[in-house]
Chains A and B, each alone.
Chain A
Amino acid sequence: MRTTLKTIKIFLFLTVLTGIIYPLLVTGIAQVAFPDKANGSLITDNHKIIGSILIGQSFDSAIYFSSRPSAVRYNPLPSGGTNYGLTNALLREQVENRRQQFITFNQLDRTTEVPSEMVFASASGLDPHISPRAALLQVNRIANARNYNNEQKTKLIECIDSLTASAQFSFLGKERINVLLLNLELEKISSTLKQ
């Protein structure tokens, strides 16, 4: 009985230490040091939150860059992938459909190699990135849909270049571009050139 009491006591003590004090301490420090990041790297526009830099959104319209395919259609509750194995016929079918769709939607040549992240769904279903090449392949379609002139189109390509994140410390991760940020830039290009 004494042992049981001892056990309960130490369990409670460690619970308070690691389950309350520790997370509160980390929260305190993170909220002071990196408040934006600790709160989800949210983007606001006119005092309205329009998303998080880290969380992808789905873009179906022709005037926006498309995100990657997502098993959860960019609904974060809950996140996840398709979990299809490579020998699953559904996956093969999906990949072929997406490949053709990407080509048709972007008015590309039949033989264009579609970047693999645009035909395969991501792990989280919320992947905010695509490769710079996948963005470049969408430029013509967007320029047409938005009636851009050549100058605007050049600006758009420059924009892709400047938003491209290279590998961290030149060896960590892949070259990538944030689709949400890119689409927000699009709005800016359109509005400046209207004036």
Chain B
Amino acid sequence: MTTQDAILLILFISILAGLTPVVGNYLFMVFTDGKHFMRPVLGWLESVTYKFAGINPKEETNWKTYTSNLLLFNLIGIVFLFVIQLTQAYLPLNPAHLGNTSWHLAFNTAVSFVTNTNWQSYAGETTQSYLVQMLGFTVQNFVSAATGMAVLLAVIRGISRKTTDKIGNFWTDLTRTTIYILLPASVVLAIVLAGQGVIQNFKTYETVQTVEGSLQILPMGPAASQIAIKLLGTNGGGFFNANSAHPFENPTPLSNFLQMLAIFIIPMGLTYTYGKMVGSLRHGRTIFLTMGILFLLGLGISLYSEYSSNPIFGNLPLMEGKETRFGITNSVLFSVVTTNASCGAVNAMHDSLSPISGMIALINMMLGEVIFGGVGAGLYGMIIFIILTVFIAGLMVGRTPEYLGKKIEAFEVKMAIVAVLAPSLVILLFSAWASVSPVGLAGLNNPGPHGLSEILYAYSSAAGNNGSAFAGLNANTIFYNLTTGIGMLIGRFGIIVPVLAIAGNMAQKRVTPLSSGTFRTDNWLFASLLTAVILIVGGLTFFPALSLGPVVEHLLMNSGLTF
């Protein structure tokens, strides 16, 4: 670590903290249909959308209709994406003449992009045509992110409204988020990135004769437009196999800095938006601080581990799987940000991180990606933990727990438990299966405990809808494509459905006025309790698995052992 690295970290954090209220306020204006500067510019587009689809934007629905609309929309997305991958060879915009993908890869990838995971069992430049990348992936990058924010909005309405069964209109939430937030931000970011050297064209792959006389084929394509939304929507699916380590996808340290900011900016802003919408900016700030502490904790440990010497490589800086232009600090920061935020873009190969840095990335995903988290998804995941914390605190003092004036009762707690258990079960059961079955073990790239980490990482990434990988694992097999595909579906909708049920149930309740006996959710005491609940739930669930993977690998590495 140098002074330069310290400046980088300080600037990264202060820029984001400074932008949080600004962005949060804009999101608030969009979500509450208030006056904002994009309305005169793009208002017509919103009206056209409703007119075309025959939607009445004023019509609100109960949680069941909201959920079924959301599920149907996502189902259509999966089917469409599945079909265009299976037929891409016959479709236009395929200058590299790539063949149709296998059914299991198409299934996995379709689910992956619709669930905002962007797990990739394929290498973009040798598998997917420009048409699939644009019409399939870029579209889902937008709408899966908008789906996440729609769910969050429904939850906020459930919490802040009283005695109603209406939690909003999925179509307007989806449309507004896409048109006013994701689209303009992506256009700006894509152009800035193109100015740094991210490619954006429809040319055929360029064959060049290198200086030493061999042939090199340079892939081309509309990358910048996809990269921008892959970050802003915390999707993470790379245009190229090396993702944001690829020089065409992330050419300069500045583009790298902007990409990291882009991952965090909306999830951070949402904490402010949330506070404002539920009428307690202080509560929003408490959530922001809790997330911030967990982020810094992980970052600190990860940096320390990556800069530590070890008996195998001595003091040699660990540049395996890292790019010269970024160096170690930028790579570690990116790895922590991307796994906090459920993004999954990478600028270094996580498989080659030191065992403890790899474990931090794993833990970030196993905790449910609530440390800022995916757009919308991170905060509604956090609300689950808040409900559990309020419930536990209520048990301790022997009062009916309340959250923002609403009583938390058996139904909410049950649903919260379902949402916590669903992804945990995916991670543990599928990992266990993969690590004892020949088809699972066949995919490993590394022997020893690191192999187990590769498997654990794959299912944590799938269940957490992250999408980054210990990319050595050969996941393009029927076994991995199906199991991670199912894992992604459970990890996404196994949370969304219970969360919307909570929203529907809470909307019907009365508001109890604050009293001196109310357990406060806007102070340090609450922040520490919440942190403890997150760490204990995650710790108890995953500590045994982690100790067999990265922990034991770390200990063996420190005694100089290799496999």
**CB of B73 within 8 Å of the partner chain:** yes
User: A34 to B472, Cβ gap below 8 A?
Assistant: no
User: B355 to A86, Cβ gap below 8 A?
Assistant: yes
Q: How large is the interface on A (under 10, 10 to 19, 20 to 34, 35 or more residues)?
A: 35 or more
Q: How far is the CB of B471 from chain A (nearest CB, A)?
A: 5
User: B347 to A123, Cβ gap below 8 A?
Assistant: yes
User: B212 to A59, Cβ gap below 8 A?
Assistant: yes
Q: Which of A22, A128, A176 contacts B183 (CB 8 A)?
A: A22
**CB of A146 within 8 Å of the partner chain:** no
Complex Cα gap A43–B228 (Å): 26
Complex Cα gap A27–B133 (Å): 14
**CB of B470 within 8 Å of the partner chain:** yes
The digit string for A152-187, where 1 denotes a CB below 8 A from any CB of B, is 000000000000000111111110100010011000
User: B208 to A77, Cβ gap below 8 A?
Assistant: no
User: A88 to B73, Cβ gap below 8 A?
Assistant: no
**Most-contacted residue by chain A among B197, B355, B563 (CB, 10 A):** B197
**CB of B412 within 8 Å of the partner chain:** no
User: A13 to B123, Cβ gap below 8 A?
Assistant: no
User: B557 to A86, Cβ gap below 8 A?
Assistant: yes
Q: Which of B73, B242, B253, B310 contacts A11 (CB 8 A)?
A: B73
Known: A31-B200, A81-B349. A10 touches B312 (CB 8 A): no
Q: Which of A60, A86, A128, A129 contacts B352 (CB 8 A)?
A: A86
Complex Cα gap A172–B255 (Å): 10
Q: Which of B125, B202, B319, B330 contacts A77 (CB 8 A)?
A: B125
Q: Which of A26, A34, A171 contacts B225 (CB 8 A)?
A: A26
User: B216 to A76, Cβ gap below 8 A?
Assistant: yes
Provide the residues of chain A in CB contact with B290, threshold 8 Å. Answer: none
Provide the residues of chain A in CB contact with B73, threshold 8 Å. Answer: 7, 10-11
User: A84 to B52, Cβ gap below 8 A?
Assistant: no
Stretch at the interface among A46-54, A103-111, A137-145: A46-54
Provide the residues of chain A in CB contact with B445, threshold 8 Å. Answer: 83-84
Complex Cα gap A19–B113 (Å): 14
The digit string for B523-563, where 1 denotes a CB below 8 A from any CB of A, is 00000000000000000000000000000010011000111
Provide the residues of chain B in CB contact with A184, threshold 8 Å. Answer: 211
Task: Tell me the B168-203 residues at the A interface (CB within 8 Å).
Answer: 171, 174-175, 178-179, 183, 186-187, 190-191, 194-203
Q: Which of B4, B183, B321 contacts A171 (CB 8 A)?
A: B4
Complex Cα gap A180–B210 (Å): 9
Provide the residues of chain B in CB contact with A20, threshold 8 Å. Answer: 134-135
**CB of A102 within 8 Å of the partner chain:** no
Provide the residues of chain A in CB contact with B219, threshold 8 Å. Answer: 76-77
Q: Which of B190, B196, B200, B450 contacts A87 (CB 8 A)?
A: B450
**CB of A136 within 8 Å of the partner chain:** no
Q: How far is the CB of A129 from chain B (nearest CB, A)?
A: 4
User: B171 to A116, Cβ gap below 8 A?
Assistant: no
Complex Cα gap A65–B458 (Å): 38
User: B203 to A37, Cβ gap below 8 A?
Assistant: no
User: A88 to B562, Cβ gap below 8 A?
Assistant: yes
**CB of A33 within 8 Å of the partner chain:** yes
Determine the residue in chain B with the shortest Cβ distance to A54.
B247
Provide the residues of chain A in CB contact with B354, threshold 8 Å. Answer: 86
User: A3 to B327, Cβ gap below 8 A?
Assistant: no
Provide the residues of chain A in CB contact with B321, threshold 8 Å. Answer: 81-84, 120-123
Known: A83-B321, A86-B320. A38 touches B142 (CB 8 A): no
Complex Cα gap A8–B54 (Å): 11
Q: Which of A26, A59, A77, A173 contacts B224 (CB 8 A)?
A: A26
User: A127 to B324, Cβ gap below 8 A?
Assistant: yes
Q: How far is the CB of A44 from chain B (nearest CB, A)?
A: 9
**CB of B257 within 8 Å of the partner chain:** yes
Known: A120-B319, A124-B247. A48 touches B216 (CB 8 A): no
Q: Which of A14, A39, A128 contacts B247 (CB 8 A)?
A: A128
Complex Cα gap A5–B76 (Å): 11
User: A83 to B325, Cβ gap below 8 A?
Assistant: no
User: B242 to A125, Cβ gap below 8 A?
Assistant: yes
**CB of A189 within 8 Å of the partner chain:** no
**CB of A92 within 8 Å of the partner chain:** yes
Q: How large is the interface on B (under 10, 10 to 19, 20 to 34, 35 or more residues)?
A: 35 or more
Complex Cα gap A174–B325 (Å): 5
The digit string for A73-99, where 1 denotes a CB below 8 A from any CB of B, is 011111111111111110110010000
Provide the residues of chain B in CB contact with A10, threshold 8 Å. Answer: 49, 52-53, 55, 73, 171, 174-175
Provide the residues of chain A in CB contact with B135, threshold 8 Å. Answer: 15, 19-20
Provide the residues of chain A in CB contact with B245, threshold 8 Å. Answer: 79, 81, 122-124
The digit string for B359-371, where 1 denotes a CB below 8 A from any CB of A, is 0000000000000
Known: A37-B197, A55-B216. A79 touches B324 (CB 8 A): no
Q: How far is the CB of A121 from chain B (nearest CB, A)?
A: 6
**CB of B351 within 8 Å of the partner chain:** yes
Determine the residue in chain B with the shortest Cβ distance to A125.
B242
Complex Cα gap A171–B7 (Å): 7
**CB of B300 within 8 Å of the partner chain:** no
Q: How far is the CB of A61 from chain B (nearest CB, A)?
A: 6
**CB of B218 within 8 Å of the partner chain:** yes
User: A6 to B54, Cβ gap below 8 A?
Assistant: yes
Task: Tell me the B223-277 residues at the A interface (CB within 8 Å).
Answer: 224-226, 228-229, 240-242, 245-248, 251-254, 256-257
User: B76 to A8, Cβ gap below 8 A?
Assistant: yes
Complex Cα gap A30–B73 (Å): 32
**CB of A101 within 8 Å of the partner chain:** no
User: A79 to B318, Cβ gap below 8 A?
Assistant: no
Q: How far is the CB of A155 from chain B (nearest CB, A)?
A: 19
**Most-contacted residue by chain A among B201, B210, B317, B321 (CB, 10 A):** B321
Q: Which of A11, A19, A78, A167 contacts B240 (CB 8 A)?
A: A78
14 pairs from A and B in contact (CB 8 Å cutoff): A26-B194, A29-B194, A42-B218, A53-B197, A81-B320, A81-B352, A83-B351, A86-B355, A87-B448, A119-B316, A120-B321, A122-B321, A123-B323, A123-B347
5 residue pairs, one from A and one from B, having the closest CB atoms: A173-B253, A83-B472, A78-B123, A123-B245, A85-B450
**B contact set with A: CB distance below 8 Å:** 4, 7-8, 11, 45, 49, 52-55, 68-69, 72-73, 76-77, 80, 123-126, 134-136, 138-139, 141-143, 171, 174-175, 178-179, 183, 186-187, 190-191, 194-203, 205-206, 208-212, 214, 216-220, 222, 224-226, 228-229, 240-242, 245-248, 251-254, 256-257, 310, 312-313, 316-327, 330-331, 346-349, 351-352, 354-355, 358, 445-450, 453, 470-472, 553, 556-557, 561-563
